[in-house]
Amino acid sequence: MLRRHKEIRSRVQMFLDAALFGLAWYLAHALRRVWHIEAFGGTREIDPFAEYTWVLLVIVPVSVLFLHLSGFYRRPWLASRRVTAWQLAKAAVWTGLAIIIVTWLLRKGYLIPRAMVPFFSVISFVLVYVKEELVLAYRRSSVGQAQAKKRIVLVGTCADTARLKRAIERDNRDDVVLVGELDINREPIEELVHLLHEHSVNGVVLSAAHTYFGQIEKTIEVCEREGVEVWLMADFFKTQISQTRTDEFLGRPTLVFTSVPQPSWPLVAKQTMDFVGATVLLILLAIPLLLVALAIKVTSPGPVLFRQQRAGLNGRPFTMLKFRSMITDAEQRKSELEALNEMTGPVFKVTNDPRITPLGRWLRKYSVDELPQLINVWRGEMSLVGPRPLPLDEVRRFDDPSHRRRLSVKPGLTCLWQVSGRSNLRDFQEWVRLDLEYIDNWSLWLDLRILARTLPVVLAGAGAK
pLDDT in tens, 167-183: 777 776 666 788 888 88
Longest CA span, the chain: 87
In this prediction, residue 1 carries a pLDDT of 46
DSSP readout, 253-274? EEEEEESSPPS-HHHHHHHHHH
Provide the mean pLDDT of the chain.
81
Please say if the pLDDT value at position 42 is more than 50. no
- Tally of residues, the chain: 465
How many CB atoms sit inside 10 A of residue 102's CB? 16
Mean pLDDT of 267-287: 91
* Cα 194 from Cα 153, distance rounded (Å): 11
Mean pLDDT of 185-206: 78
In this prediction, residue 39 carries a pLDDT of 52
How many CB atoms sit inside 10 A of residue 463's CB? 15
Q: Report in angstroms the alpha-carbon separations of 159 from 80, 169, 215.
A: 35, 16, 16
What percent of the chain lies above the pLDDT cut of 70? 82
Q: Which residue has the higher pLDDT, 143 or 301?
A: 301
* Cα 260 from Cα 311, distance rounded (Å): 17
| Domains of the chain and any CATH numbers | 2-143 (no CATH), 149-236 (3.40.50.10700), 265-460 (no CATH)
Half-sphere exposure of 441 (CA within 13 A, CB side): 13
Mean pLDDT of 314-320: 87
Half-sphere exposure of 293 (CA within 13 A, CB side): 14
Check if the beta carbon of residue 112 is closer than 8 Å to that of residue 55. Answer: yes
Mean pLDDT of 389-414: 85
Work out the angle between the directed axes of helices 116-140 and 2-34 (0-180°, nearest 10): 140
Most confident of 65-74, 172-181, 192-201: 65-74
Mean pLDDT of 322-327: 91
Please say if the pLDDT value at position 209 is more than 70. no
Q: What is the DSSP letter of 76?
A: -
In this prediction, residue 174 carries a pLDDT of 64
Most confident of 214-223, 279-288, 414-423: 279-288
In this prediction, residue 43 carries a pLDDT of 47
Please say if the pLDDT value at position 291 is more than 70. yes
Q: Which residue has the higher pLDDT, 300 or 205?
A: 300
Number of helices and strands (H, E) in the chain? 17, 10
